[in-house]
Amino acid sequence: MLLNSDLWVSALIRRAEIEGANATVVRRGDARAGTVIVKAYDTSTRQARLFTEAFGQDGDRLWIQPVKGSESELDDYIERQRGYDPDIWVVEVEDRQGRHFITERVEGRGSRDEE
């Protein structure tokens, strides 16, 4: 069973805060079923990564990096998605280690991902 988007986002923010990171809802979407985009910003390297939720063949939530590039390219992607889907959530996480705090499976996991 999947959590409502608002509960999932609240849990993500709480996990980040517990670990000393800063997480902010930049755009609030549909509370029950809005798609979530997480922008993880590494404050030590000044680089960002973008994660968006998807669903695997088993129906479980998983996360993918839909685009890689500069922060402006990531922001452009977010703006395009907002145009397609007015119900999306956008959460920005700022962390010295670049962690995203997503606990579900992340496709294409990089070496900095610890969750």
Q: What is the pLDDT of residue 108?
A: 66
Q: What share of residues in the chain are helix, strand, coil (percent, to 5)?
A: 25, 30, 45
pTM of the shown model: 0.88
* Angle, vertex CA 60, rays to CA 59 and CA 64, nearest 5: 110
User: Is residue 97 over pLDDT 70?
Assistant: yes
Q: What is the CATH number of domain 5-106?
A: 3.40.1530.20
User: Is residue 115 over pLDDT 80?
Assistant: no
Domain locations in the chain? 5-106
